[in-house]
Structure 1
Amino acid sequence: MNLSKNIVLSLAMSAALMQGCLNREKPIHPSRRDVTQAIYASGKVYPLNYYRANSSVGGYLQKLYVQVGDSVREGQPLFSIKNELSDYNISVARNNMALAKSNLAENSSMMKAAREEIAAAYTKFRLDSTNYVRYKNLWAEQATTQVALDQARTLSETSFQNYQRAQETYKSTRQKLRTDVANAEQVYKSQQVGKDNFTINSAINGRVYDIAGRLGELIAPQVVVMEIGQAGAYEVELAIDETDINWIREGQEVVYSSDAFPNRYFSGKIKKIYPKIGLVNKSIKALATIEMPTDVKFYAGSTIEANIIFEKQKNVLVLPKFYVHNDSVRVNRDGKAQRIKIKTGLNDVEFVQIVEGLSEQDEVFKP
């Protein structure tokens, strides 16, 4: 009997204690506000149209036409590379072109030899044809034999063929030499074009942000020598985790923050998404605009944090996130704290949307 009284007394005291604690807890009410859901991404700030200038050929860095911070125009020389093998090839091509043109000249030994062959063949033909006419006259007077006449005719015909052959040889020789000149000119031009690759020009109107090479340094092909970008305009290169790629679209709003500018935020939009996942960092690359106030100055390569907004809800019922645990909350029901299930929606850094289960009149306690 005493045991039953003790149990009842204990339960009553526990209930009273819980009621006392409930009375001491300060509840909050769900409130209404705008909620945005965003994806985090890290990024780097670069000048607009930023690119790394390099040479497609190797050689020694011979000359720098600009310095860091200089403004440049499209087509303006940036730097030049010296390659001794290229200079040698150009010299050989120039000499071959000069030789080909010399051979084509009318007073060249090859052209003289071809003309002399024609002259010799013509002289021989004149002699043999005259001799053939003489034998024909002798034959008419029956003063020679048929064999002698036939021999004279054969020599005349052969001489004529040799004369024609000499003319064709002259024509073909001249045509070959013309072709040799044309080919030599093309080779020389191609070598000159290749030499143009040793002077690298700016692809844009912009500014020099960095110079990596030093004069006299051996530069391998495709090695970055300079970094060029548009002056005063920037964009952001973002690295987005592959698990978030289905939420990313071009045109989405981006909110930026940077340790270099505490308590300040910058806005922009996604303008390009690259359809490739990086093998090392397992992320995709995206380019985004950034609106830069006049009093803010970023340097090329500055790190920045981005929140890409993919959904917004206006004037929705919310609770601070730490009041919600496993989609449930503690609420006041008839003076008692009771845990109930709720349905949640969007959430940001501070708040979670309440879709079902609570109203603005409910009192909610910490978990």
Structure 2
Amino acid sequence: MMMLLGSIQYGSRIGRWSPFLIVALSACTEERVTTRPKEGAITESVYASGVVKALDQYVVHSQVNGILLMAYVTEGDTVEAGDPLFLIDDRSSSLASRKAEVNLAFLEKNASSNSPVLAQLRASVTRARESLENDSALYAKQMRLWEKQIGSENDLEQRRLAYTTSRANYEAALEAYAESRDRLRTELSLARSDLELSKVAEDDRTVRSWIDGVVYDVSIEKGELATTQRALAVLGSAEDFLLELNVDEYDIVRIAPGQRVLVTMDSYRGQVMEAIVTKVDPLMDERSRTFSVEAVFLKPPSRLYPNLTAEANIVIRSRQEALLLPANYVTIDDRVILASGDSVALEIGLRDLEMVEVISGIDASTVVVLP
């Protein structure tokens, strides 16, 4: 009975521990995924998405508010700088221009040498001068009589007072004439300036092209309201295009003009085109937290259109002969696990999405284990 129990107990132990033994045996027989560093080329780049834009592309706006009377262009039209694009019915500027013309004509008449206003003032000067001459002669005559003791002192005083009054009146008439003449000249000059400004405002009714190029879009129709905030059209170069790329703020400090760009586009699938960075906008877009970077194609494709989407890799550094290791074998703290189970710290050089460059820590003969 005791032997039977012992057998049962022994058998129960075997049954209880056998699963762990099976797992251990299978773990020992499982093959680990390993690799060795290999020589190869690597390119470190910054990803950017963007769109194609025509050179000098801009959105056309009106300088005045009003109803669109005429659209002189349609999509696809070729234009030159200064060509009219749209005519806006801005009645306020038209009225202001006519008012300025009437005011200028009125002031030109009043400021002319034979104007009624100045003629009347000159007549006042003439009368004052004649009165002064007469009173001056009478005063001088009375002075001579007084020296001969002829006449009374009261007569002399009356003549002197008349002379003094006439002289003051003459000087006042001269001053009034000069002041009115100068004021009218100033008002005339201001009226001419007002007319020029009103004509400029009236000229703003005609929206003109700033560039030689192509009309890519017209977004308003005759009879609709044009405002200074509403886009009327999109114009740009007919032949020259650029890439407007968006680079994350994390990477922008690594971007500079002159860097090579590898570009792919949905419109040209399977093709990789080269471009070069020409401009880095120093102001970040606060909403997207990105910077605008411009690049131009070294060999542009045969046909391009504004707003075509593009993806780009801006080349930061590249090396043709480097010791490379798949990035998934390297831990977040830049270490690798050896076949022995030990971990080794690496000095990492260039990186791309798949590979890293090993500067030191292991060599081409080192076997590393996938963590």
Query: Given the two structures, how large is their TM-score scaled by the length of structure 2?
Result: 0.82
**Does structure 2 conserve the Cα–Cα contact (< 8 Å) formed by 1:57 and 1:222?**
no
Quote the Cα distance in structure 2 between the aligned partners of 1:144 and 1:256.
Answer: 115
1:86 pairs with one of 66, 87, 93: 93
More deviation in 143-152 or 282-291?
A: 143-152
Distance 1:63 1:292, change over 3 A: farther
Distance 1:146 1:263, change over 3 A: same
Q: CA offsets, 1:177-221, max 9 Å, x none? A: 112111111111122223333333322222221122222322222
1:229 pairs with one of 231, 236, 240: 236
Distance 1:289 1:128, change over 3 A: same
Is 2:326 the partner of 1:346? no
Is 2:336 the partner of 1:328? yes
Q: What residue identity is the alignment partner of 2:358?
A: I
Question: Which secondary structure does the structure 2 equivalent of 1:311 belong to?
Answer: strand
Is 2:71 the partner of 1:64? yes
Q: CA offsets, 1:144-172, max 9 Å, x none? A: 32211321232133223322332332222
Distance 1:132 1:317, change over 3 A: closer
Quote the Cα distance in structure 2 between the aligned partners of 1:159 and 1:109.
Answer: 24
More deviation in 130-139 or 232-241?
A: 130-139
2:248 pairs with one of 232, 241, 245: 241
Quote the Cα distance in structure 1 between the aligned partners of 2:139 and 2:211.
Answer: 81
Q: What residue identity is the alignment partner of 2:336?
A: S
Equivalence for 1:298: 304
Q: What residue identity is the alignment partner of 2:245?
A: L
Question: Which secondary structure does the structure 2 equivalent of 1:276 belong to?
Answer: coil
More deviation in 127-136 or 197-206?
A: 127-136
Paired residues in the alignment total 353
> Unmatched 5+ residue regions in structure 1?
none
Q: CA offsets, 1:38-80, max 9 Å, x none? A: 1111111101121222233322333333322222222333333
Question: Which secondary structure does the structure 1 equivalent of 2:87 belong to?
Answer: strand
Q: CA offsets, 1:269-305, max 9 Å, x none? A: 221112222221111111112234443x232111111
Quote the Cα distance in structure 2 between the aligned partners of 1:241 and 1:75.
Answer: 39
Is 2:318 the partner of 1:315? no
- 1:264-275 alignment, distance < 5 Å: 264-275=271-282
Quote the Cα distance in structure 1 between the aligned partners of 2:359 and 2:140.
Answer: 123
**Does structure 2 conserve the Cα–Cα contact (< 8 Å) formed by 1:47 and 1:233?**
yes
**Does structure 2 conserve the Cα–Cα contact (< 8 Å) formed by 1:121 and 1:166?**
yes
Equivalence for 1:55: 62
Q: CA offsets, 1:97-147, max 9 Å, x none? A: 111111123343212211221232234334434544554566567653221
1:183 pairs with one of 187, 190, 211: 190
**Does structure 2 conserve the Cα–Cα contact (< 8 Å) formed by 1:330 and 1:365?**
yes
Quote the Cα distance in structure 2 between the aligned partners of 1:102 and 1:14.
Answer: 117
**Alpha-carbon RMSD:** 3.2
Quote the Cα distance in structure 2 between the aligned partners of 1:159 and 1:27.
Answer: 122
More deviation in 262-271 or 313-322?
A: 313-322
Equivalence for 2:263: 256
Distance 1:170 1:328, change over 3 A: same
Quote the Cα distance in structure 1 between the aligned partners of 2:97 and 2:224.
Answer: 23
Is 2:209 the partner of 1:220? no
Quote the Cα distance in structure 2 between the aligned partners of 1:204 and 1:160.
Answer: 67
2:106 pairs with one of 81, 99, 105: 99
Question: Which secondary structure does the structure 2 equivalent of 1:275 belong to?
Answer: coil
Query: Given the two structures, how large is their TM-score scaled by the length of structure 1?
Result: 0.83
More deviation in 228-237 or 51-60?
A: 51-60
More deviation in 105-114 or 345-354?
A: 345-354
Question: Which secondary structure does the structure 2 equivalent of 1:277 belong to?
Answer: coil
Quote the Cα distance in structure 1 between the aligned partners of 2:301 and 2:125.
Answer: 84
**Does structure 1 conserve the Cα–Cα contact (< 8 Å) formed by 2:350 and 2:356?**
yes
**Does structure 2 conserve the Cα–Cα contact (< 8 Å) formed by 1:342 and 1:355?**
no
Question: Which secondary structure does the structure 1 equivalent of 2:200 belong to?
Answer: helix
> Unmatched 5+ residue regions in structure 2?
1-9
Distance 1:358 1:154, change over 3 A: closer
Quote the Cα distance in structure 2 between the aligned partners of 1:241 and 1:16.
Answer: 45
Equivalence for 2:119: 112
Question: Which secondary structure does the structure 1 equivalent of 2:250 belong to?
Answer: helix
Quote the Cα distance in structure 1 between the aligned partners of 2:178 and 2:261.
Answer: 75
**Does structure 2 conserve the Cα–Cα contact (< 8 Å) formed by 1:342 and 1:354?**
no
**Does structure 1 conserve the Cα–Cα contact (< 8 Å) formed by 2:216 and 2:236?**
yes
Equivalence for 2:49: 42
